[in-house]
Amino acid sequence: MAAQLDPDRQGPILELGPGTGAITDAILPRMGPKARLVLVELNPALAARMAARYPDPRVQVVQGSAADLVELVVPGTVDVVVSGLPWTVMPGAVQGRILRAVDEVLRPDGRFTTFAYLHAARTPLARQFLEQLAGQFGSQERGATVWSNLPPARVLRASLPRARRTPQDVGSGHPGAIGCQ
């Protein structure tokens, strides 16, 4: 999930639901020296654990909800949002609220990356998440399945946040895009 990060970009990176830091560990070596990583964790115990684990001055831990991003970050300023949130156990309304918040905080050229476990890919909430993702972002792509991950997962990437799409961007999906087959 962190492989797409550009170390030359200095804008903030948000990680939603960092948990114990597996994705954080992959992000930090790819960050430029002036970049900033904001970890947004709902669970107070995990947020405290992350703050203790990452004393790096480029890292800021925020205990709060991903649905409240616009209250935590200046809208339109974030380069990348990486999410480890468990989308398939969230009600659709919560999924939508978080995706709208991600849309609002991303820069026009910002990117959103998350993952989906294969065993849950055909559940109603997983399908609903993919529909909402397609509605919120002008471009979506599915990465290859990572079989070495337990459980196996697929990386999902999205760009062209809805709030900043131009009329030319609408409907510009390609055959490999989520929801365009």
DSSP state for residue 47 in the 8-state scheme: H
Burial 53-62 (b: 16+ CB within 10 A, else e): bbeeebbbbb
Q: What is the pLDDT of residue 10?
A: 66
Alpha-carbon distance 23 to 96, whole Å?
A: 23
Alpha-carbon distance 141 to 153, whole Å?
A: 14
All residues at 6 or more sequence positions from 69 whose CB lies less than 8 Å from its CB, including other chains: 14, 40, 98, 101, 102, 104, 105
Mean pLDDT highest for which of 5-19, 80-94, 138-152? 80-94
Alpha-carbon distance 111 to 138, whole Å?
A: 11
Average the pLDDT over 143-150 and give the result. 88
Q: What is the pLDDT of residue 143?
A: 87
Unique residue bearing structure tokens 């830091």 = 21
Confidence of residue 45 (pLDDT cuts 50, 70, 90): very high
Task: Answer whether residue 125 shows pLDDT above 70.
Answer: yes
**Sign of the four-CA dihedral 31, 37, 41, 47:** positive
Tokens of 141: 């792509």
Mean pLDDT of the chain: 84
pLDDT digit string, tens, across residues 46-86: 999 999 999 999 999 999 999 999 999 899 999 999 999 99
Burial 104-113 (b: 16+ CB within 10 A, else e): bbbbeebbbb
Task: Answer whether residue 6 shows pLDDT above 70.
Answer: no
Q: Which sequence spans correspond to the domains of the chain?
A: 13-164
pLDDT digit string, tens, across residues 87-109: 999 999 999 999 999 999 999 99
Residues above pLDDT 90, as percent of the chain: 63
Say if domain 13-164 classifies as CATH 3.40.50.150: yes
Residue 57: asked if its preceding bond is cis (omega within 30°), the reply is: no
Task: Answer whether residue 171 shows pLDDT above 60.
Answer: no
Tokens of 50: 């992350």
Residue that wins the pLDDT comparison between 133 and 167: 133
Judged by DSSP in three states, 146 sits in: strand
DSSP state for residue 148 in the 8-state scheme: T
Average the pLDDT over 139-153 and give the result. 89
**Residue 52 CB neighbours (<10 A):** 9
Residues above pLDDT 70, as percent of the chain: 84
Q: What is the pLDDT of residue 179?
A: 23
Q: What is the pLDDT of residue 161?
A: 78
Q: What is the pLDDT of residue 144?
A: 86
DSSP state for residue 180 in the 8-state scheme: -
